[in-house]
Amino acid sequence: MPQCELRVVEHREPAPEHVELLLEAPRLAADLTPGQFAHVWTPGSLRRPISFSRATPDGRVGLLFRVVGAGTRWLAERRVGDRLDVLAPLGKGFPTPEAGPVLLVGGGVGIPPLFVAAQRWAATHPTDVVLGARTADALVMADDFRALGLDLSLTTDDGSLGERGRVTGPLARWLARTDGGQVWACGPTPMLAAVAQLVGEERPCWLAYEQRMGCGVGACLACVVPGVGGDGQPEWVRVCHDGPVFSSRRLWWAGAEGEA
């Protein structure tokens, strides 16, 4: 398992309660697959999983996170020159898309891994982007996507930026006007369930799933969620090792819908 110490070379605060740390990591920047994550040591017993938010040509990778508890608060206090102990890259990321249009759908702190997907594939696949958050303050990375020349549809729950409502509105319109194509999404579980339901069985739909984690490498079973086996029967899948990116058909959605 690749354990390494990575030096913080930039500390950004892109939004209130959100921090992005840029780390010097040339090999990771060249090799990582969008959707893979770093399992980062923080004081206490468990590491914290954070998706990579960017990979730059000058050999940096980003971790963009919302400060929600002790682990992310400690990470938010890291400064240029500090070193992070990380296991990375972990998990299975998004597959290279098939030919044809791609729609990226990101919600809240599910947006960052989709930016790595856009960096990798927007030049070779017609790419549309839908980003959503509860409020304008929590909608991160829109300017990064724009800098790649992509058109964005933005939604916020309170209408403070873009269209008032959920990402499912622009998603439904894209599905109605686009023949074929494929959808890549990351966000809260109810959002992923709604995306899977709207996209249905006809088009590829790949989802980056978030779950509390322990080891991060498939050994402790802390992260299991119900999935669908090859025979169509329920089976447990490990988010850290079998995912975090899954085909929507591989996950068992009953009970996950909630509010998208």
Ligand X SMILES: Cc1cc2nc3c(=O)[nH]c(=O)nc-3n(C[C@H](O)[C@H](O)[C@H](O)COP(=O)(O)OP(=O)(O)OC[C@H]3O[C@@H](n4cnc5c(N)ncnc54)[C@H](O)[C@@H]3O)c2cc1C
Residue position matching structure tokens 């960052």: 112
Query: Tokens standing for 6?
Result: 């990575």
**Which of ligand FES, ligand X, none does residue 87 bind (CB under 5 to 8 Å by kind)?**
none
**Residue 30 contacts ligand FES per CB under 6 A:** no
Q: Which string of x and - marks every residue 21-60 that binds ligand X (by CB under 6 A)?
A: ----------------x----------xxxx---------
**Contact present, 187 and 132 (Cβ < 8 Å):** yes
23: amino acid identity, one letter: L
Say how many C-beta atoms besides its own lie within 10 A of residue 146's C-beta. Answer: 12
Q: Which is nearer to ligand X, 11 or 66 (CB)?
A: 66
- The binder of 238, among ligand FES, ligand X, none, by C-beta within 5 to 8 A per type, is ligand FES
Residue 117 site contact among ligand FES, ligand X, none (CB < 5 to 8 Å, cut-off depends on kind):
none
In the complex, minimum distance from the CB of residue 146 to ligand FES, in angstroms, rounded to a whole number: 35
To ligand X, the closest distance from the beta carbon of 86 in angstroms equals 13
Residue closer to ligand FES, measured from CB, 132 or 243? 243
Distance between CA atoms of 99 and 162, rounded to whole angstroms? 30
- Sites for ligand X among residues 194-253 (CB under 6 A): 210-213, 244
68 binds ligand X (CB under 6 A): yes
Please give the residue ranges that form the binding site for ligand X (CB under 6 A).
37, 48-51, 64-66, 68-72, 109, 112, 210-213, 244
Binding site for ligand FES (CB under 6 A): 213-216, 218-223, 238, 240-241
